[in-house]
Amino acid sequence: MPISLGRLFLIFLKVGAFTFGGGYAMIPVFERELVKRFKLIAPEDFYDTLVVCQSLPGPIAVNFAVFTGLRLRGKRGALISLLGVVLPSFIFILLISVFLFRYIDVPIVEAMFKGIRLSVVALIFFAGAKLFMSHRSLEGLCIAVMAFALVFTFSLHPVWVVLMAGAYGILSRRAKGGEAP
Amino acid sequence: MIFLDLFLAFLLIGLVAFGGGYAVLPLLERMIVLDRGWIAMERFVDMIAISQITPGPIAINGATFIGYQLISREWGVALGILGAATSTIGVVFGPALLIFVVSRFYTRFKDSPVVKAVFRVLRPALVGLIMASVASVASSAVFDVPGVLIVLLALLALWRLKWHPLLVIGACALLGLVVYM
């Protein structure tokens, strides 16, 4: 018996609404709900899906929702899952923009936001450092430094860095004779 | 016309935002803040902070926030919500379409040596792009010695004490209140 569209929507809505800290924080929650609790996906399928979702552009939680919805209930399932995972953040941000953000110029709020902006510097740096440490190598460091310099120092559009990195990856594999990874 | 521009800009962002999470920030900064001037750098940093204290992927939060800010400034709340919907649909449209295509030859895609080769170079390049974001956020947020100290304290809390990002943001808001009021 396939899962109902309503239940599918509710699962993704729930994960979308209660997971703080970006798309990556949603992954373990998806696993708990879809693999362990409702047994809709086999564990090995879950990790395979994740690899594909990480290799495609776009927010990983969105990719995952579309992929899972498509597999479980076809096109309508994909649309329903997409809606479920996107709606909570859409509504939260709208509420904040409409009702809260007009107080940003109040001195108390402004002082708090000065502090919060500083935490953002640390949070992004930490995320970048973690990504680097997960696959650290001298070649990786050189590529990272080059990408940084191209975008920050020479104001190259980041799209070109993404395209050049992809092209270099393919070419360097060809040069090595297409060895198995 | 501005709605079409909004949709197309976020369509492109969605299609080239590899890596998920913070890796979308350099694209947003370049295309939305620098090239189009749709929101100020300071608001952009606030958007990142707000994304961290609300649920959902940062790309979705960013699209909703920027779409609303841009349109509501001139045309009010109702059209602002329409603007938020436009940019949010734009940013998920490309990735969702790609998932539909890839799901057809999913087993070949997930073990593809080409995908692995691309990501071997793309991953460190994304580290460089994320660090470029750190640099520009830092140059718009850190003005004084207490600012540098707060960033270092936040890094220490994330790295050594393994604090949850929400806790770090809360602590920095309090420090901001103490230092900048």
What does the pLDDT look like over B44-68, one tens digit per residue? 998 998 888 888 889 999 999 999 9
CB contact under 8 A, B56 and A58: no
**pLDDT value at position A177?**
59
In a domain, A157, yes or no: yes
Q: What is the ipTM of this complex?
A: 0.85
Q: Which domain holds residue A168?
A: 104-175
pLDDT tops 60 at residue A178? no
Percent of chain B residues past pLDDT 70, beyond the cut? 99
In a domain, A170, yes or no: yes
In a domain, A52, yes or no: yes
The reply to whether A44 and A132 lie within a common domain is no
CB contact under 8 A, B173 and A152: no
Stretch B148-168: mean pLDDT: 91
**pLDDT value at position A104?**
75
pLDDT tops 90 at residue A31? no
The reply to whether A70 and A148 lie within a common domain is no
**pLDDT tens digits for range A78-120:** 999 999 999 999 999 999 988 877 777 788 988 998 898 899 8
pLDDT tops 90 at residue A53? no
Contact call for residues B83 and B3 (beta carbons, < 8 A): yes
Angle between helices B165-180 and A107-134 (to 10 degrees): 140
The reply to whether A67 and A113 lie within a common domain is no
A115 min Cα distance to partner chain B (Å): 4
The reply to whether A90 and A16 lie within a common domain is yes
CA distance A65 to A40: 13
B6 min Cα distance to partner chain A (Å): 16
CA distance A11 to A91: 17
The reply to whether A97 and A138 lie within a common domain is no
CB contact under 8 A, B132 and A111: no
Which of A71, A121, A168 has its CB closest to that of B138? Answer: A121
C-alpha distance from residue A129 to each of B15, B121, B146, B154 (Å): 24, 16, 23, 14
pLDDT tops 60 at residue A77? yes
Domain ends where: A42, A67, A102? A102
Confidence of residue A180 (pLDDT cuts 50, 70, 90): very low
The reply to whether A159 and A91 lie within a common domain is no
**Which residues of B are less than 8 Å from A59 in CB distance?**
17, 20, 24, 57-60, 91-92, 95
**pLDDT value at position B6?**
96
Q: Looking at chain B, which residue has its C-alpha nearest residue A100? A: B50
The reply to whether A85 and A115 lie within a common domain is no
Judged by a CB distance cut-off of 8 A, whether residue A160 touches chain B is no
**pLDDT tens digits for range B65-96:** 999 999 998 899 999 999 999 999 999 999 99
CB contact under 8 A, B117 and A61: no
Confidence of residue A181 (pLDDT cuts 50, 70, 90): very low
In a domain, A180, yes or no: no
Structural domain count, chain A: 2
Q: Return the HEC string of A94-111.
A: HHHHHHHHHHCCCHHHHH
The CA-based dihedral angle spanning residues B51, B55, B58, B60, taken in that order and rounded to the nearest 10 degrees: -110
